[in-house]
Copies of this chain bind each other. A is one copy, B any other.
Amino acid sequence: MSDDNLSKQIGFLVEIDKLKTVFRRTYVLGTDRHENDAEHSWHLALMALVLCEYANKEVDVSHVLKMVLLHDIVEIYAGDTFCYDIEGNEGKAEREKQAAQKLYSLLPAVQKNDFIVIWEEFEKGETTESRFAQSLDRLMPLLHNYYSEGRAWREHGITRQQVLQRNAHIADGSWELWKFAQELINDSVEKGYLLP
C-alpha cells in the first residue's frame, strides 16, 4: 500500500483512542470508576480465548477475536446505550450504522469494507462465531455485576426478570455458559444484588 494508505491507517488508530473515553454502566472491580469500551473490548477478547471450548459449535476463535475487538468502536460517535434503556435503544441501529460509515471511512477502501463486514456479522448474530461473540458480550456484565455486589443493577433498579430476558440469548452461543449465567443470576437474587 502507498504512504497515503499508511497515513490513513495511522489517522484511524489515533481516532479510535477515543474509545477509551466512552464509558459503560459497569464498574471496574474494586474501584469507583466505570469501565470504558476499550478495556471492555480487551476483556471480551480474553474471555473468547479462555472460554471458546464452551461454544455450542466449534468456532474459529481468531474470527471471534476480530469481532469483539471491533464490536464497540461505533460507540465513539454513537455513544454507549444502557441495555435496559428502552427509549435509548430506539434508533440505536441507525445511529451505529452511520457511525460505522464515518469511522471506517478513515481507512483505505478495502480495509474499510473488510471491517464493516466483520462488524455487521457481529450485529446480525447469524453465524456460529457471532452468536458466541454476542454470548460473551452478555455474560461479561453479569460477571461484573455479580463481583461488584450488583452495583450497576442496584443503581438502576434492575430486576431478575429483566436480566433473564436480556441474557437468554447467551444460550444461542453457548448452552453451558447460559446454565452458568442462570446460576449467577439466581445467586445474585439470593444475595440481594438483584431485585427478585
Contact = CB atoms under 8 A, between A and B. Distances in A.
Interface of A: 1, 6, 9-10, 12-14, 16-21, 28-31, 35-36, 38-39, 41-43, 45-47, 49-51, 53-54, 61-62, 65-66, 69-70, 107, 111, 143-144, 147, 176, 180
A6 B65 contact: no
Contacts of A65: 45, 62, 65-66, 69
A28 to B, nearest CB: 5
A101 to B, nearest CB: 17
22 contacts: A1-B53, A6-B176, A9-B51, A12-B50, A13-B47, A13-B50, A14-B29, A17-B28, A18-B30, A21-B28, A21-B30, A39-B39, A39-B42, A41-B42, A42-B69, A45-B45, A45-B65, A46-B69, A49-B69, A50-B107, A50-B111, A61-B62
B54 A43 contact: no
A66 B176 CA distance: 24
Given A36-B39, A39-B38, A62-B62, A14 B147 contact: yes
Nearest to A1: B53
- Identify which of A13, A19, A61 gathers the most chain B CB atoms within 10 Å of its CB: A13
Contacts of A6: 54, 176, 180
- Chain A contact residues: helix, strand, loop or mixed: helix
Given A19-B39, A39-B39, 20 more contacts: A9-B50, A9-B51, A10-B143, A12-B50, A13-B43, A14-B29, A14-B147, A17-B144, A17-B147, A21-B30, A38-B43, A39-B42, A41-B42, A42-B69, A45-B69, A46-B70, A49-B66, A49-B70, A50-B107, A62-B62
Contact of A16 (B13, B21, B46): B46
Contacts of A46: 13, 16, 69-70
Nearest to A177: B6
